[in-house]
Amino acid sequence: MDAKINEQVKNKKQDNLITAEIRYKMTAKGMMITEYYGADTCVVLPDEIEGETVTALDDYAFARNLEVEEIWLPEALKEVGRYAFYRCKNLKKLILGNQLLDMGGGALTGCRLEEVEIYFREGKKSCLKSIVEETRYQIRVSLYGYSWRCCAEKNSTDEWLREVRILFPEHYEEAVENTPARILETHHHGAGGYYRQCFYNRELDYKKYDEMFYHTVAEDTEETAVELALNRLRFPEELSEKNKNVYKTYIREHMETVAAYLVKREDIEGIRFLEQKKLWSEPALQTGMDVAAEGNRTESLSVLMDVRKELFPKKKKTFEL
């Protein structure tokens, strides 16, 4: 299992240019990258340097780098130093393995991270909790790992790459003055704070995560709730039948928003998923086609027309003599 994940990650890295613009040193814990001094927007850090596995990223290694937008960390990284990405204002995406279990204090201070990809070699622990706790903004997370499934042939098994997509909504606090009482009150906004508590022993607690959905419905935008619900239905890791029905009910009741969301992102797989689950309504399909036509999204428009033809075929007119 580890070998297959390593091969997949290495193949993806080969499609990118691994940076040479780094400084490093050997430590008692392994090879450490001490500084990145380049100006690329996408930085792919090496897994090995001089035959030694890279296991650490030093304090302030990327600090104040205003160019970098995406960083692919070494696959066997186990330590990220304090303020490693301090004030990397344009950093939007991190890609890493799950041997890293914690980020150093203030590692993401001054960043506005939007996406995280984590590749799991073994177990379910990762540094995801550490990442989302440092970021108040909305974060889209993709988790990858291998699972076993039974093949049609007796006593035969196969491995397949499992993907899970998870959304962590935004949250922030606001100090509001209570003039009569002469005190400052802290007001909390957004459901993201609840979701950031859905971890146990560095593992994401999916059951607790799903139980927070009513907070999203009450405190976030309709589009945020739609995206979160769609993610859980499409990638139902540890999703109970009860919570599946909650998400499905919400999607059914907000299908026009769902249609606009999928078309704007040209998410053809999402459109087909709802067709497979027979969740489309004719008004929602019409909304989607209108949005697609206005935005000149021809592929989405074509697919939606096919879905309407398949799910809601027109009845042939008959004439009696």
pLDDT at 162: 86
Is 79:101 a contact under the CB 8 Å cutoff? no
261, part of any domain = no
Higher pLDDT, 114 or 187: 114
Question: How many structural domains compose the chain?
Answer: 1
Residue 195's SS3 state is: helix
**Confidence bin at 167 (pLDDT 50/70/90):** very high
**Confidence bin at 154 (pLDDT 50/70/90):** very low
**Confidence bin at 7 (pLDDT 50/70/90):** low
> Around Cβ 270, how many Cβ atoms within 10 Å?
20
- Rounded CA-CA distance 11/13 in Å is 5
Burial grade of 170 (CB within 10 A; 0-12, 13-18, 19 or more): middle
188, part of any domain = no
Alpha helices in the chain, H assignment, sequence order: 2-14, 128-133, 192-195, 206-211, 213-219, 222-234, 241-253, 255-264, 268-276, 282-294, 298-311
Average pLDDT, the chain: 90
pLDDT at 262: 98
Overall average pLDDT of the 43-50 stretch: 95
53, part of any domain = yes
CATH number of the domain residue 50 falls in: 3.80.10.10
**Confidence bin at 190 (pLDDT 50/70/90):** confident
Overall average pLDDT of the 180-209 stretch: 85
What does the pLDDT look like over 224-261, one tens digit per residue?
999 999 999 999 999 999 999 999 999 999 999 999 99
Terminal Cα distance for the chain, rounded: 70
pLDDT of 306 strictly over 70 = yes
131, part of any domain = yes
281, part of any domain = no
pLDDT at 122: 84
Is 256:287 a contact under the CB 8 Å cutoff? yes
pLDDT of 212 strictly over 60 = yes
67, part of any domain = yes
- Domain hosting 29: range is 1-168
